[in-house]
Amino acid sequence: MNRQNAQRIPLALKIAYTAFVAVLVPYYWVTYTPWNFLYLCDVALLVTLAALWLESPFLASTQAVAILLPQALWVVDFGARFLAGLHLTGLTAYMFNPDIPLFVRGLSSFHGWLPFLLVWLVLRLGYDRRAFAAQSALGVAILLVCYFLAPPPPATAVAAVNINYVFGLDDQHAQSWMPPETWLGLLIAFNLICLFLPTHVILAKAVQEPPGAT
């Protein structure tokens, strides 16, 4: 099998992914408002759609950098609750809440399978070393938009607020431990240094670079 064929993404996967996004986007748009699509995980969902159809190692690599580590925590928390009934962080408690419709929880399942899909894409297409710089710039821009433009706490029944935790860890109250700008600066540093950079280092060492990437 030549390299071109090896890089092909199955059409069935592209269609299935597109269908999922086509259902999720209008539901989230109406239920949570368009602000919801500034969450880094939701950005990853949309950018991965483009990565699939374009078979772009660059786009797949940026989103792998963005979400693999935080979504790994989601997967571990969900697995511990599902398999052993353990409550590790409470991050996925809503997935086991019978008051939330199964349809809604099914849409949110992408937090669990999207990181695995991104790993598969990067292994198949290659890891583009430019991803860290690009995702760092995009991530900082998104966090700044969330801080200066998106809704702050408190949470309402329908609106997305405190997107990407730019006002603290509580959606009902902004954090009061430090000046808001200090929190934002530390959040940016945490994302770049503790989440994006380690993922970049691991992928750069473990995965071959795609042809033509510079």
pTM strictly above 0.85: yes
SS3 178: coil
Residue 213 lies in a domain: no
Q: Is residue 141 part of a domain?
A: yes
Does 167 map to a domain?
A: yes
Q: Environment class of residue 136 by beta-carbon count within 10 Å: exposed (0-12), middle (13-18) or buried (19+)? A: buried
Range of the domain at 161: 3-206
**pLDDT score of 91:** 81
Report if residue 121 sits inside a domain.
yes
Count of domains for the chain: 1
Task: Give residue 171's pLDDT band: very low, low, confident or very high (50, 70, 90).
Answer: confident
**pLDDT > 70? residue 157:** no
- pLDDT band for 213, please (50, 70, 90 cuts): low
Q: Are 165 and 183 in contact (CB under 8 A)?
A: no
* Mean pLDDT of the chain, nearest integer: 92
Give the tokens for residue 146.
């969330």
How large is the greatest C-alpha to C-alpha distance in the chain, in angstroms? 58
Q: What is the pLDDT of residues 50-70, one digit of tens each?
A: 999 999 999 999 999 999 999
pLDDT higher than 60, residue 6: no
Q: How far is the C-alpha of 163 from the C-alpha of 148, rounded, in Å?
A: 11
Q: What are the start-end ranges of the H helices in 33-130?
A: 40-54, 57-84, 102-108, 110-125
The verdict on residue 214 lying in a domain is no
